[in-house]
């Protein structure tokens, strides 16, 4: 398998605090790579370095989604990074709360077809049939088609997450980053989200990097797990190996058994 993302020697300090300390990581194409670790371990900082939102003090991140020789994403604005095929799901679902689900779904479809800016003011948004079709398609993929005319602000957290995932998928990304996709969800919503992510995984080969707190989610989805503690990757391997690893339990679970 070839890698889609390689991280080498990444360091990041916040005014003296070492948030990331010489992090090395390879994300294989098509894998579901979970990054776990206690609060304050540097997981979000790491994700932000991956998408160029933060620029590390030293080290490199190379993305192989478009070019075989890889490219660096540092300093690019978020929309440019997204246009390269990297989508992101936020810890708190970010959707267009004032718009209907259908409108929410049309926007990423247009971003995918038209690029980062297009001024086509004259045709009505519904006059391009392919946009409406694609939007309906992705809504039905995540089971939200009946709610298409509702405003997304009135959705439950689980449904917002569904919508957000649908919007990411509408762009047909190569790499999907998920920052605690089930944080703050009830058990039922968590299970629904796991099922949805599994279904997506079966239908499309999208590489995913998941930051997650919930072990149930990690072991249901991940094909590989890296453990981050105090800015350092302390262990890495298949989920089953990680379950029994003493270092992981020490650092992450405070010695408790899984």
Partner 1 sequence: MNMKDNILVLIFGAVILTMPLWAGIVGAGYPDLLQKFAIFGLFAIGFNILFGFTGYLSFGHAAFLGIGSYTAMWSFKLLTMNAIPAVLFATAVSGLFALAIGFVALRRSGIYFSILTLAFAQMCYNMAYSVLTPITNGETGLTLTATDPRILDAATTEGLPSTELFGMGLSGYNGFYFCAIILIIGFYISVRLYRSSFGLMLLAVKSNQNRMKYTGLNTKPYLLSAFVISGMYAGLAGALMVVIDPLAGAERMQWTASGEVVLMTILGGVGTLLGPFIGAIVIKYFENIFSAFNDAVLNQVFGFLPDFIQGIWVSFASLFVGKGWHLTLGVLFMLIVIFLPGGAMEGFRRIAAKFKKEKEAHSAGGAE
Ligand X SMILES: Nc1ncnc2c1ncn2[C@@H]1O[C@H](COP(=O)(O)OP(=O)(O)O)[C@@H](O)[C@H]1O
- Name the nearest CA neighbour of 52 among 7, 14, 16: 7
Residue 144 within binding range of partner 1, rule CB under 8 A: no
| Interaction residues for partner 1, span 87-106 (CB under 8 A) | 87-88, 90, 94-99, 103, 106
Sole binder of ligand X in the list 2, 39, 121, 149 (CB under 6 A): 39
Which CB atom, from 198 or from 204, has the smaller least distance to partner 1? 204
Sole binder of partner 1 in the list 40, 77, 184, 244 (CB under 8 A): 77
Residue 74 within binding range of partner 1, rule CB under 8 A: no
Sole binder of partner 1 in the list 16, 39, 75, 122 (CB under 8 A): 122
Residue 33 within binding range of ligand X, rule CB under 6 A: no
Q: What DSSP letter does each residue of 51-110 carry, written as one string? A: TTSS--SEEEEEE-SS-TT-EE-TT--HHHHHHTTEEEE-SS----TTSBHHHHHHHHHH
- Name the nearest CA neighbour of 109 among 159, 169, 176, 162: 169
- Cβ within 8 Å of residue 248, ≥6 positions away: 227, 234, 235, 242
Sole binder of partner 1 in the list 107, 145, 215, 253 (CB under 8 A): 107
Stretch that binds Mg ion, among 36-44, 72-80, 127-135, 246-254 (CB under 5 A): 36-44
182 in helix, strand or coil?
A: coil
Residue 75 within binding range of partner 1, rule CB under 8 A: no
Stretch that binds ligand X, among 14-22, 69-77, 170-178, 196-204 (CB under 6 A): 14-22
Which CB atom, from 14 or from 154, has the smaller least distance to ligand X? 14
Residue 171 within binding range of partner 1, rule CB under 8 A: yes
Number of residues that bind partner 1 (CB under 8 A): 39
244 binds, among ligand X, Mg ion, partner 1, none (CB under 5 to 8 A by kind): none
Spatial contact of 62 and 71, defined as CB atoms under 8 Å apart = yes
Angle at 244 between CA 238 and CA 249, to 5 degrees: 110
> Minimum distance between the CB of residue 10 and Mg ion, rounded to whole angstroms?
17
Structure tokens, 15: 């005014």
Query: What is the rounded distance in angstroms from the CA atom of residue 126 to the CA atom of residue 2?
Result: 41
- In eight-state DSSP terms, residue 142 is T
Sole binder of ligand X in the list 3, 6, 44, 100 (CB under 6 A): 44
Structure tokens, 250: 């020490």
Spatial contact of 180 and 213, defined as CB atoms under 8 Å apart = yes
120 binds, among ligand X, partner 1, Mg ion, none (CB under 5 to 8 A by kind): partner 1
Query: What is the rounded distance in angstroms from the CA atom of residue 171 to the CA atom of residue 167?
Result: 7
Number of residues that bind ligand X (CB under 6 A): 11
Q: Which residues bind Mg ion (CB under 5 A)?
A: 44
Q: Which residues bind ligand X (CB under 6 A)?
A: 14, 17, 19, 37, 39-45
């Amino acid at each position: 398998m070839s890698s889609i993302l390689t991280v080498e020697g990444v360091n990041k300090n916040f005014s003296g605090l070492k948030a990331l300390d010489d992090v090395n990581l390879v994300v294989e194409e098509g894998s579901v790579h979970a990054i776990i670790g206690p609060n304050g371990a540097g997981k979000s900082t790491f994700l932000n370095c991956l998408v160029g939102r933060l620029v590390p003090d030293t080290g490199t991140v190379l993305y192989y989604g478009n070019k075989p020789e890889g490219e660096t994403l540092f300093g690019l604005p978020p929309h440019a990074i997204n246009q390269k095929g990297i989508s992101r799901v936020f810890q708190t679902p970010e959707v267009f709360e004032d718009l209907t689900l259908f409108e929410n779904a049309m926007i990423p479809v247009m971003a995918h077809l038209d690029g980062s800016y297009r001024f086509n003011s004259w045709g009505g948004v519904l006059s391009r049939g392919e946009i409406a079709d694609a939007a309906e398609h992705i809504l039905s993929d995540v089971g939200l088609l009946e709610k298409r005319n509702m405003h997304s602000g009135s959705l439950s957290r689980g449904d917002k997450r569904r919508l957000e995932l649908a919007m990411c998928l509408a762009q047909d990304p190569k790499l999907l980053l998920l920052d605690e996709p089930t944080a703050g969800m009830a058990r039922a919503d968590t299970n629904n989200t796991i099922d949805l992510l599994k279904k997506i995984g079966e239908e499309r080969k999208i590489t995913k990097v998941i930051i997650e707190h919930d072990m149930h989610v990690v072991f249901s989805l991940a094909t590989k797990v890296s453990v981050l503690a105090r800015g350092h990757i302390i262990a890495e391997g298949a989920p089953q190996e990680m379950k029994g690893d003493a270092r992981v339990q020490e650092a992450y679970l405070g010695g408790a058994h899984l």
